[in-house]
Structure 1
Amino acid sequence: MKLVRDVEIYAPKRLGKKDVLISEGKIIAIEDRIEAHITGVDIEVIDGKGLIATPGFIDAHFHLLGGGGENGFQNRTPEVKLTDLTEAGVTTVAGLLGTDGVGRDDAALLSKAHALEIEGITTYVYIGNYRLPVETVTDSIIKDIMVIDKAIGIGEIAISDHRNGSPTFAEFAHACADARVGGLLAGKAGIVNIHVGPGKDRLKFIFQALDETDIPVATFYPTHVGRSQELVDEAIAFAKRGGVFDVTGSENPDQTYDIDGDIPFRKILKQVLDEGLSPECITMTSDGQGSLPSFDSEGNFLHIGVASAKSLLVGIKEAVKREEIPLEIALQTVTSNVANKLKLAHKGQLVVGKDADMLLLEKDSLDIHTVIAKGETMIADHEIIKRGTFE
């Protein structure tokens, strides 16, 4: 059992100073003052003075096996390590494949997800990669989502991108409809994580599906919308139709590349609020361990980088300190909004009965002080406590 005393809680809604009691991986009490004395039970007391408690971050778009390879085998980015996630405050992660669905496959992705779960965090996966039709583990998308516990949808399906195999709209719509049905039958999100590339069509396939089919807007989850203002405008139009869209964070938000994240997360969140939209329509993910390739106007490869989960906290800090967006709103985009979109009822909030995924942040700097995942301390007072098997 753990008792966090005198901590300022953002659940992500600000609740003020409280005590939090954790037992068997769950939050069992949040009160002004908790006196816990149980005979024969050791209770670890954590001093929360000067700290902020937030839900653990949920990164809904992560290349657990690495990504890349667009300029040859030497550009394949490495697999993630447990501490790459926990040091960034990520306690729940959804893994996927991108451009390369050949040198990496869903069986390997599932294996990696299970390994990280054993090491202490919560993991999910999307089935498939950039290309359509989706290459499934069983014989169909619907069956994959039904029988594979960790499968919550398909992705990342690429649109408006020269690397996607030029799918037809019919192929796209059919895959999205199957993901929807699989989610209904399994009681899961059944969402389609959609990589939006730099192509001129932007969100065309999504709007066409909304206009010409009965697939509900909740099925679609477009990401990388910060590539251009035109794409941001379309994402906001999508949100006005009830959609939720995702922005790729960046560790260097002021540095412009021809890659995901040209417009910083903080500015897109500000536009959402200025439009009068609910902040629940936007999330932020890292594209962690994914390659960040840059191409010229003729499609020639220029250079490559590697995305990091640390971009999430950078995005939160930037939104709060540079755009003066309230912390509780910025935090939603990596906690409760994501949990709602992925239908993870036990995640995303500091609420009694939910999983004890908690971050303690320094009040002034918002730097990570402590990370608790499913009740287990991963980082304490800036020191790594739990490492992965081969770290």
Structure 2
Amino acid sequence: MLLLKNARVFAPQDMGDVDIFTGGGKVLALGSNITSVPAETKTMDLSGFIVTPGLIDLHVHFAGAGGEGGPIFRAEPLSLSSLLESGITTAVGLLGTDGYARSVMEVLQKAYALEMQGISTYIFTGSYKIPPVTITGDVATDIIAIEKVLGLKAAIADHRSSHPTVEEFIRLASQVRVAGILSGKVGIFHLHVGTYPDPLYIVRETNKRTSIPLYHFLPTHMNRNETVLGEALKFALDGGNVDFTATSDMEHPQACEAIIHLVEAGVPLDRITVSSDAGGSSPLFDAEGHLLDVKITTPEDFLKQFLHLVDLMGPEKAISVFSTNPAQRLGLGKKGKIAVDLDADLLIFDSEWNLKGVIAKGRPIWSKI
């Protein structure tokens, strides 16, 4: 058991200076001057420190990805420390371009390993390719039978995608929806979006033909360029949810700029999330499609963008985008907030918003205090 005393808590709402008592991986009590705790409780005086919910990264290649340019460009699996140093206490793993030499089972096993090391993990089945690669041989069965599988990942509007027809896409979306209904999960169809003209056409057409709700679709990389950002704005104003990528080498706009653009245009903040794409590749192609360079992304920019948004919009809105909103989108009811009976995933910052400690499921697992 752990008692955090006198911390300035953003839950995400500003609660002022309060105490947080945790045990069994949960927040057991939250309030001023908590004193009635078991004798074995460890106490930390956090006067002058800030506590927030842990960050949730819903698109991270923690088992490694990449491969454009050949095997030498295959990214290695991410370490636990690289995630913790970026404030990530919940991570959702997935495959990238390579659904051939890499497998969803690899991602699942890495998820189990990271869970055993202390953080919370989930995965998406599939990769860029269609028909999707899966664990059981069936998309819906993966989602229903495997607790960690939250949905399906595929690629659209990209030269590396399988260029599915609308009919193929509808069948996959239907599988995701039915699996979500049968499993009690949201059922997310997570979409890597490239730079083709009208990149979300297939999503809008599927919604129009089938009435499959827009909340099942979560397009990511929606800040690739100004054109794609314009599509993100239209999709979000129509009721969809969009995810921006935190990598610093992406063409403008950066994630924080994209968020402010959408909010100023009238998009509700709860329709916006940010993810890192860490462990994946960021290939650069010339106008003729020749590969010029490959960079491997890291989790560092995720925390940098969070802190930048803290400066631009304040802690409450930044926490909503990086923790509360992804928890809601993914159906993780015990994550994304600091409240009694929710998971004790907490970040400790000093007064200058330097990350000083990480508590995952009630256990301190990284500290500079």
Question: Does TM, normalized by the shorter one, top 0.5?
Answer: yes
1:263 aligns to 2:250 (yes or no): no
Tell me the equivalent position of 1:289. Answer: 279
User: How is 1:210-289 mapped onto 2 (pairs within 5 angstroms)?
Assistant: 210-250=207-247, 252=248, 257=249, 260=250, 262-289=252-279
How many Å apart are 1:381 and its aligned residue? 2.7
**Which of the residues 74, 79, 88 maps onto 2:86?**
88
The amino acid that maps onto 1:6 is: N
**Which of the residues 339, 347, 354 maps onto 1:351?**
339
After superposition, the C-alpha distances for 1:50-101 in whole angstroms (9 at most, x for unaligned) are 2111111110001111111110000001101111111111111100001001
The amino acid that maps onto 1:270 is: I
Alignment partners' CA distance in 2, 1:122 and 1:22: 17
The amino acid that maps onto 2:232 is: A
Alignment partners' CA distance in 1, 2:235 and 2:172: 20
Q: Is contact 2:198-2:231 (8 Å) kept?
A: no
After superposition, the C-alpha distances for 1:181-221 in whole angstroms (9 at most, x for unaligned) are 10110001210110001222311111111222221100100
Tell me the equivalent position of 1:199. Answer: 196
Alignment partners' CA distance in 2, 1:277 and 1:363: 31
**Which of the residues 280, 289, 293 maps onto 1:299?**
289
After superposition, the C-alpha distances for 1:269-324 in whole angstroms (9 at most, x for unaligned) are 11122122221010000001111111111111111111122212111222233xx3
Pair 1:370–1:211, CA change in 2 (3 A): same
- The runs of 5 or more residues in structure 2 that have no matched partner are none
> What secondary structure, in the 3-state scheme, does the structure 1 residue paired with 2:322 have?
coil
Alignment partners' CA distance in 2, 1:72 and 1:306: 13
**Which of the residues 352, 356, 369 maps onto 1:369?**
356
Deviates more, 1:303-312 or 1:2-11: 303-312
Alignment partners' CA distance in 1, 2:37 and 2:69: 60
**Which of the residues 152, 155, 169 maps onto 1:154?**
152
How many Å apart are 1:227 and its aligned residue? 1.0
The amino acid that maps onto 1:247 is: F
Tell me the equivalent position of 2:19. Answer: 19
Tell me the equivalent position of 1:103. Answer: 101
Output the TM-score relative to the length of structure 1: 0.92
Q: Is contact 1:247-1:261 (8 Å) kept?
A: no
1:47 aligns to 2:37 (yes or no): no
How many Å apart are 1:261 and its aligned residue? 5.3
1:380 aligns to 2:352 (yes or no): no
Kindly, what percent of the aligned residue pairs are identical?
36
- The runs of 5 or more residues in structure 1 that have no matched partner are 383-391
Q: CA RMSD in A?
A: 1.3
The amino acid that maps onto 2:208 is: D
Alignment partners' CA distance in 1, 2:282 and 2:316: 30
1:340 aligns to 2:328 (yes or no): yes
How many Å apart are 1:363 and its aligned residue? 2.1
Q: Is contact 1:225-1:261 (8 Å) kept?
A: no
The amino acid that maps onto 1:358 is: L
Q: Is contact 1:145-1:151 (8 Å) kept?
A: yes
After superposition, the C-alpha distances for 1:139-164 in whole angstroms (9 at most, x for unaligned) are 32111111011111001x11110001
Q: Is contact 1:224-1:247 (8 Å) kept?
A: yes
The amino acid that maps onto 1:159 is: I
Tell me the equivalent position of 1:10. Answer: 10
Alignment partners' CA distance in 1, 2:143 and 2:336: 22
How many Å apart are 1:358 and its aligned residue? 0.2
Alignment partners' CA distance in 1, 2:224 and 2:200: 12
Alignment partners' CA distance in 1, 2:254 and 2:107: 29
**Which of the residues 159, 162, 166 maps onto 1:165?**
162
> What secondary structure, in the 3-state scheme, does the structure 1 residue paired with 2:197 have?
coil
Q: Is contact 2:226-2:252 (8 Å) kept?
A: no
Q: Is contact 1:132-1:165 (8 Å) kept?
A: yes
Q: Is contact 2:5-2:45 (8 Å) kept?
A: yes
Deviates more, 1:272-281 or 1:182-191: 272-281
1:189 aligns to 2:186 (yes or no): yes
Alignment partners' CA distance in 1, 2:251 and 2:173: 25
How many Å apart are 1:242 and its aligned residue? 1.5
> What secondary structure, in the 3-state scheme, does the structure 2 residue paired with 1:135 have?
coil
Pair 1:369–1:261, CA change in 2 (3 A): farther
After superposition, the C-alpha distances for 1:215-237 in whole angstroms (9 at most, x for unaligned) are 11001000001111121111111
Tell me the equivalent position of 1:178. Answer: 175
The amino acid that maps onto 1:376 is: R
Q: Is contact 1:209-1:215 (8 Å) kept?
A: yes
Pair 1:92–1:261, CA change in 2 (3 A): farther
After superposition, the C-alpha distances for 1:247-269 in whole angstroms (9 at most, x for unaligned) are 0002x3xxxx5xx4531111111
